[in-house]
Structure 1
Amino acid sequence: MTTDTDVRPESREPGPSGQDSGQDSGQDAALSSATRGGESKRSIEQIALLLFITIPFVALVAAVPLAWGRGMSWLDLGLMVGMYFLGCHGITIGFHRHFTHGSFKAKRPLKIALAIAGSMAVEGPIVRWVADHRRHHKFSDAEGDPHSPWRYGETLPALMKGLWWAHMGWLFDEEQTPQQKYAPDLIKDPAIRRVSRDFWLWTLISLLIPPVVGGLVTMSWYGAFTAFFWGSLVRVALLHHVTWSINSICHATGKRPFKSRDRSGNVWWLAVLSCGESWHNLHHADPTSARHGVLRGQVDSSARIIRWCEQLGWASDVRWPSADRIAARRKENISEAA
């Protein structure tokens, strides 16, 4: 497999170092099992995951004829957009930039709020999500990466199979990432462990908010139904596929102006829907950077919200990319190859 120049940027990521290996194994097992999404095969969570993928996807397919026949109200649209970006920023700012990479420090209330907001995206318990992503960075686009699109080779049929695997197939792999190895810091935190263990509760709340609001505002069961359809099912399906596209599309195509040891690329048309995550080449060149869209015109709403939190005193030690740091990661001859 041919990869970009190997650049290992500074990192203060906890987890993949294999620390705490001397802890009592019984305690480790108890802590890990307390987070849900653990390492047991064929767990009930796999079944739930299948339902949360297939049912919202069917709803997304049905969205077009439903909108054409009856339309959707402004309330439905507002609930869908509002809940989408709440969950999306919970993933991008919370699960990803804060908990996985330590791009900034958050005061306790913000930290817990981000953990809950990310959980409401219905992408799995926070401990498992972070462990998977840290493992991804350790082996990015190489053997050991849980979701590389280059897993099966570089021919077109192999890439098509790999894109499916990277997009969602890997979610059903029975080989689970060791949480104690890759996310020991989160397992040690009682509040975060509780948020992770209660993933089912945040999922339920996330799915119920739209129909409750829709029903109360319209005072009708139909209003509750359409709000549930758009604000819950369609919203979850869209957010899932945008997030998975970072794993698949952004590792198979896109511009690569920065040096990285994998095939991560920048995909501009996903920038708004992914809240800035699709500026993926810079992220893999400098994983702890709090801003991914560092070039002119690169929209990164997650970075903007982190800046607001910093100005309010809720976030500190933010790792903003300096001009020198960005320049050090630029390729000498910028490749525009997709």
Structure 2
Amino acid sequence: MTAVLDEHVTHHATLGGETQSRTEQVALGLFIAVPFLALLAAVPVAWGGWLGWTDVAIAVGMYYFTLLGITVGFHRLFTHKSYRPNRAVKIGIAVAGSMAIQGPLVRWVADHRKHHKFSDRDGDPHSPWKYGTSVGALIKGLWHAHMGWLFDEEQTNQRKYAPDLLKDRDLVRISKNFWAFVLISMLLPAVLGGLITWSWQGALTAFFWGSLIRVGLLHHVTWSINSICHAIGNRPFVSRDKSANVWWLAIPSGGESWHNLHHADPTCARHGVLRGQVDMSARLIWVFEKLGWVKEVRWPVAERIQSKLVSAQAPAAA
């Protein structure tokens, strides 16, 4: 009976199985294209007076709420086990990440774990170096790493790369009901805008900025970690791939763009470990720890970090 139940839970853990359906690809295309068109229209819409402080507050609040759901939740917790949360934090951060509209939790984690296993080598779902190192190949690879890979029909095997998540009923339920969190994420800004301004115009502009613009911007910032942060940037740490730090993405990505250290030490809860490297996600984990909501946080160890620096591994001069 247990075996049958486990198989049922595994099979229905996310929308779709190991092959992406045509319906999913169409839905994915719409959720990429529509927010992108909204981004293109953002300047004329704002210039026309359809942007107020309520819209800004809702858009920024929703952006960082869902961004941190991805960085602190999907990435540092569920993929890399950088800390151990209580059940409320686990569920809350999984919901927040689902509202970023980047796919069901189990599928997201499976993809990212596979990325780390084969980073910038054959088997990596989204390496910009997939087609070679020439300028033309890199341009094609950047497109693939940024968003092209999302449309691959063959999906990462979730049983192989995320078996621990498939054993957690809370996470399976959240992953399976991803569609519900998409609806909440898209409708909540409009509801807030309408209630705050008590007008249909307030609801409409809040939807434009807090849903469409926010989702489009968050998507492209997150995808830039896959593309830009594996193509250009500073590499102070030794890693077996081309992961790099891109400073100007640090604040919009919540600290994820300190990507070189992350690939050198994947389970570390803080990615920005050098002086001046702002890491908002690590700060939130620190707050959770101080409140007693998480424990066993894998903070950076000075000696370990020092040993991974490129300068520390260079041969001494004769």
- State TM-score, norm by structure 1: 0.90
1:180 aligns with 2:159: yes
Aligned-partner residue type, residue 199 of structure 1: F
TM-aligned CA distance change 1:322 to 1:306, over 3 Å: same
CA distance in 1, matches of 2:104, 2:275: 35
Q: Deviations over 1:266-303 (max 9, x none)?
A: 00000000000000000000000000000000000000
Aligned-partner residue type, residue 52 of structure 1: F
Q: Deviations over 1:193-235 (max 9, x none)?
A: 0000110111111111110011111111111100000000000
Aligned-partner residue type, residue 173 of structure 1: D
2:225 aligns with 246
Deviation at 1:42, TM superposition (A): 2.1
The answer as to whether partners of 2:15 and 2:104 remain within 8 angstroms in 1 is yes
TM-aligned CA distance change 1:103 to 1:259, over 3 Å: same
CA distance in 2, matches of 1:251, 1:217: 42
CA distance in 2, matches of 1:57, 1:328: 42
- Say which is worse superposed, 256-265 or 32-41, in terms of deviation: 32-41
Deviation at 1:45, TM superposition (A): 2.3
TM-aligned CA distance change 1:160 to 1:334, over 3 Å: farther
Deviation at 1:29, TM superposition (A): 6.2
- Say which is worse superposed, 40-49 or 208-217, in terms of deviation: 40-49
1:332 aligns with 311
2:143 aligns with 164
Q: What is the aligned counterpart of 1:285 among 264, 276, 290?
A: 264
Aligned-partner residue type, residue 306 of structure 1: I
Q: What is the aligned counterpart of 1:206 among 179, 185, 199?
A: 185
CA distance in 2, matches of 1:81, 1:283: 26
Deviation at 1:28, TM superposition (A): 3.5
5+ residue gaps, structure 1, are 1-22
Q: What is the aligned counterpart of 1:264 among 237, 243, 249?
A: 243
RMSD: 1.6
1:70 aligns with 2:49: yes
5+ residue gaps, structure 2, are none
CA distance in 1, matches of 2:127, 2:97: 23
1:124 aligns with 103
CA distance in 1, matches of 2:48, 2:234: 40
1:34 aligns with 2:37: no
The answer as to whether partners of 1:38 and 1:128 remain within 8 angstroms in 2 is no
The answer as to whether partners of 1:121 and 1:239 remain within 8 angstroms in 2 is yes
Deviation at 1:308, TM superposition (A): 0.5
The answer as to whether partners of 2:9 and 2:172 remain within 8 angstroms in 1 is no
1:80 aligns with 2:51: no
Deviation at 1:46, TM superposition (A): 2.1
Indicate the SS of the match to 1:55: helix
Indicate the SS of the match to 1:258: coil
Q: What is the aligned counterpart of 1:99 among 48, 66, 78?
A: 78
CA distance in 1, matches of 2:269, 2:9: 33
1:111 aligns with 2:90: yes
1:300 aligns with 2:287: no
TM-aligned CA distance change 1:29 to 1:259, over 3 Å: farther
Aligned-partner residue type, residue 195 of structure 1: I
Q: What is the aligned counterpart of 1:275 among 254, 276, 292?
A: 254
- Total equivalences in the alignment: 313
Q: Deviations over 1:246-268 (max 9, x none)?
A: 00000000000000000000000
Deviation at 1:32, TM superposition (A): 2.8
1:57 aligns with 36
Structure showing the higher helix proportion among its residues: 2
- State TM-score, norm by structure 2: 0.95
Indicate the SS of the match to 2:311: strand
1:138 aligns with 117
Q: Deviations over 1:131-177 (max 9, x none)?
A: 00000000000000000000000000000000000000000001110
Deviation at 1:34, TM superposition (A): 3.2
Deviation at 1:40, TM superposition (A): 2.8
Aligned-partner residue type, residue 63 of structure 2: Y
Indicate the SS of the match to 2:310: strand
Indicate the SS of the match to 1:206: helix
Which of structures 1 and 2 has the larger relative contact order (alpha carbons within 8 angstroms, sep 6+)? 1
